[in-house]
Structure 1
Amino acid sequence: MATVKAILYKSKKKSDGKYSIAIRVTKDRKSKYFFLEWIDEKYWDVKNFRVKSAHPNSRRLNNLIAKKVAEADDTILEYEASKKHYAINDIINVLKGEKITLSFFDLAEEHILQLKKMNKANRAVSDNSKINTFREFINKDELLFDEITEQLLNKFKAYLVAKGSVSERSIMNIFILIRLLYNRAIKMGIADRQRYPFGESKIRISLPESIKIGLDEDEIRRMESLELENGSPILHTRNVFLFSFYLAGIRISDVLKMKWNDIKDDRLYYRMGKNNKITSLKIPKAIFEILEYYKSEKIKGSDYIFPELKKADENNPEDIYIKTKTAIKKFNKYLGTLAKMAEIDKKVTTHIARHSFGNIAGDKISPHMLQKLYRHSNLSTTIGYQANFIHKDADDALDSVLNF
């Protein structure tokens, strides 16, 4: 719930030494101010949040303060009672006597704050970056939902394409976030469905297909057989990559969060960061060999298996996210070197461990079993993903026509 308080705003001072009386509205640890009149500091009653009686216009000013505080409090109570969404600007606009409006960026900021409260730091950082890209294009801090038109979004897309550094998929992901916030605003009654800029014959969102290429069996063996210096960063990188691959391509962010007490009776139990699912996998022999390498650094059961998060603040999801992101960037650098050493003519990154498992699995494993191994919520997701690596039928069909 928002709070309202009358203060003497001392962050700005007039040339005659006076400060402005202000009504401060605070919500979700963010404050905005509605300014009244300027007075000398000696006339402000800090304890009672009012103008001292010694001021010649104290009665008028205190009535004005009481009126504005009451207006703000009444508006907040009305919103809270009806369970309607509101932002600080809505309260400030009431004090200004203006029509209540909600800025797109106000709703976006609350969206980011909510993600942080839910400990979804990676999503919060990613979505905040998308919002900042849109804000950079708009070049102002307030944007009403009515202003988000097809024309505006088409100009935004052209702006991103002209930059040359933003992929089509990244552009669509920004549009998906804008659409999500617009739909949320419609449900809250602060945006008009008739002005909705998305849909058929309007802005259509279509994610481009991405090419998924994994390593084959021979390439994995060549990587495994490399002679690497004990204790070196490149050996550690290979260990993390293969740990992910051996366990059906567990995401590196989840691998780094694994602890020794996640291992029980030769099985690994862990919670998947992307969808919060708990899963269990049998630990292959090759994984035990990797674990042996790190046992000397084990302090206790709750200690991380790999070193990247040992100094992270476990109660700070953002700190964990930053350290994980830094580690992945380092891993990808060394994986490029490993690829050259193993004579692999493919771009090898941490994510390709998952693609490699899919590529080698091909059609050897049933889709239902792959769904379980991949931890997908829907079988259709598994079938769509695995289709990237199954080419035999198409290859045979082509050969049947061309072999004449």
Structure 2
Amino acid sequence: MCYPDCLSLQKTPWDMATLKTVLHPKINKKGTKDYRLAIRLTVNRKRSYYHLGQKVEPKFWDAPGEKVKSSHSRHKQLNRLIRKKYDEIEDVIFELEASKHDYTAKQVIDSIRKNTKKLSFFELADEHIEDLTKAKNHNRAISDKSKINRLKEFAKNRNLTFEEIDEDLLKKMKIYLRNTVGLSERSVMNVFVMIRLLYNSAISKKIVDQKFYPFGRDKIKIKYPQTIKIGLNESEIRNIENLDLKQGSAIWHTRNVFLFSFYLAGIRISDVLRMRWSYIVGDRLYYKMSKNDKADSLRLPTAVNDILAYYIEDKRTSSDYIFPELKTIPVQDSKAIYTRIKTSIKRLNDNLAKIANQAEINKKITNHIARHSFGNIAGDKVSPQMLQKLYRHTHLSTTIGYQGNFIHKNADEALDAIINFSK
């Protein structure tokens, strides 16, 4: 498969571009290795891989010949695929060298990916996850990978093309996810949103034609079911505030975190745990919301300052975390931070269940309920525009839709006016 005389324009041995077809190992979820068929390009001793979207067991691989052995049932098809893609990569290199352009291995492989019209769904999905990981967006990467794996499970790891992901397949997949896996309607819609995102990306990259798009009018519609958002009322918040908890205990700390979020318009728990002392300037809090990178500033209420007073003794530097959960993790280790936040939220939610019991609250309380509680108590007391700022929503329509869950006064009065005709 290798052509040693094909790249003769390099001036020194270490500048040579070399192509080699290999089995590229990758650790799967079970902790074992999958061997993926790939073409490896090395330029200036830096490598880049073009994966062919096929797995081959080592026993079927002829490493010296760089081809699939004839004992494999699909050896002709796979070797034809190798030759075709090998030639495409080689042609790109010839053109670059003929025009005396400098190039890297990654640039060549990226150009092949952009020009590939038959990139599989899972190949593009792998690129998507890899891009998120490189950007250290571990939260999104893990979430999206989980959704992609749902389709892999349904397809039994078959390497689907985008054309194969049609309305019929998605309808069957929905039945499988609801009835066999037991996912909620909302979770199924989240999987569909992930598929739609990759499908739109494939269309923009000319991987698949628009006519195969399975979503939209008269096709697969993505519609989230309405959910009932229940927040705490003023009396219930006071019950939590007035609990006699031992200072320094885990449940005492949990209450502080919950109320810190509530007092600041329901800041998301992941952002609360990321709070640093440097975010506080004078009597104001300045921070960026991790979900949409939206910056905001809020004046610190007295109740928040009272909470901060308990934690300032453990302040080591101005950039130190306010709450203890992340103090032992290096700032640059984003993956470890994500993992710690995830485990901390579970522990805090467990403690909130104990708080609800002690406060005699017959509602399920989680950290996110702090946000719902703020919305419930705010009701229609504040203009939607101001609530939009407090919630850090990008669009006013989001605020109006969200707050609609908690405004019942007008509907209640209208109902009373109708049914009380006999009084």
Report the TM-score range of the alignment, normalised by the length of the smaller protein.
0.7 to 0.9
Name the stretch that deviates more: 243-252 or 188-197.
Answer: 188-197
Shift of 1:203: 0.8
Distance in 1 separating the partners of 2:314 and 2:158? 49
Map of 1:364-383 to 2, 5 A cutoff? 364-383=381-400
The alignment partner of 2:266 has SS state of coil
Map of 1:150-189 to 2, 5 A cutoff? 150-163=167-180, 165-189=182-206
Map of 1:2-401 to 2, 5 A cutoff? 5-6=19-20, 24-25=40-41, 32=51, 71-75=88-92, 86=113, 101-163=118-180, 165-401=182-418
Shift of 1:118: 2.7
Contact 2:39 2:49 in 1 (8 A): no
Shift of 1:197: 1.1
Contact 1:4 1:23 in 2 (8 A): no
Distance in 2 separating the partners of 1:69 and 1:23? 7
Shift of 1:263: 0.5
Deviations 1:356-403 (CA, angstroms, capped at 9, x unpaired): 000000011111111110111111111111111000000001111122
Distance in 2 separating the partners of 1:379 and 1:8? 53
Contact 2:325 2:341 in 1 (8 A): yes
Shift of 1:38: 5.8
2:6 maps to what in 1? none
Distance in 2 separating the partners of 1:69 and 1:152? 32
Q: Which runs of 5 or more structure 1 residues have no equivalent in the other structure?
A: 12-21, 41-64, 91-99
Contact 2:41 2:47 in 1 (8 A): no
**Matched residues, percent identical?**
54
Distance in 1 separating the partners of 2:164 and 2:218? 19
Deviations 1:284-329 (CA, angstroms, capped at 9, x unpaired): 0011111111112111111000011112232132221111111111
TM-score, normalised on structure 1?
0.81
Cα distance change, pair 30–320 in 1 and its aligned pair in 2 (3 A): farther
The alignment partner of 1:86 has SS state of helix
The alignment partner of 1:313 has SS state of coil
2:3 maps to what in 1? none
Deviations 1:244-268 (CA, angstroms, capped at 9, x unpaired): 0000000010011111111111100
Distance in 2 separating the partners of 1:183 and 1:116? 21
- Give, as a single letter, the amino acid of the residue that structure 2 aligns with 1:268: L
Distance in 2 separating the partners of 1:192 and 1:275? 31
Shift of 1:23: 5.3
The alignment partner of 1:241 has SS state of helix
TM-score, normalised on structure 2?
0.78
Contact 2:40 2:47 in 1 (8 A): no
Cα distance change, pair 25–166 in 1 and its aligned pair in 2 (3 A): farther
Cα distance change, pair 240–188 in 1 and its aligned pair in 2 (3 A): same
Count of aligned pairs between the two proteins: 358
Distance in 2 separating the partners of 1:299 and 1:373? 30
Shift of 1:124: 1.0
Shift of 1:5: 3.6
Cα distance change, pair 166–269 in 1 and its aligned pair in 2 (3 A): same
Distance in 1 separating the partners of 2:181 and 2:109? 47
Cα distance change, pair 68–36 in 1 and its aligned pair in 2 (3 A): farther
Distance in 2 separating the partners of 1:195 and 1:363? 46
Cα distance change, pair 364–81 in 1 and its aligned pair in 2 (3 A): same
Q: CA RMSD in A?
A: 3.1
2:13 maps to what in 1? none
Contact 1:4 1:69 in 2 (8 A): no
Shift of 1:72: 2.5
The alignment partner of 1:279 has SS state of strand
Distance in 2 separating the partners of 1:323 and 1:210? 29
Distance in 2 separating the partners of 1:67 and 1:30? 15
Distance in 2 separating the partners of 1:74 and 1:36? 25
Contact 2:132 2:138 in 1 (8 A): yes
Distance in 2 separating the partners of 1:352 and 1:168? 21
Contact 2:266 2:391 in 1 (8 A): yes
- Give, as a single letter, the amino acid of the residue that structure 1 aligns with 2:409: K
Deviations 1:76-111 (CA, angstroms, capped at 9, x unpaired): 7789589857189x6xxxxxxxxx621100111111
Contact 1:312 1:320 in 2 (8 A): yes
The alignment partner of 2:20 has SS state of strand
Deviations 1:102-142 (CA, angstroms, capped at 9, x unpaired): 11001111111122233322111111110111111111251
Name the stretch that deviates more: 195-204 or 337-346.
Answer: 195-204
The alignment partner of 2:291 has SS state of coil
Cα distance change, pair 82–131 in 1 and its aligned pair in 2 (3 A): closer
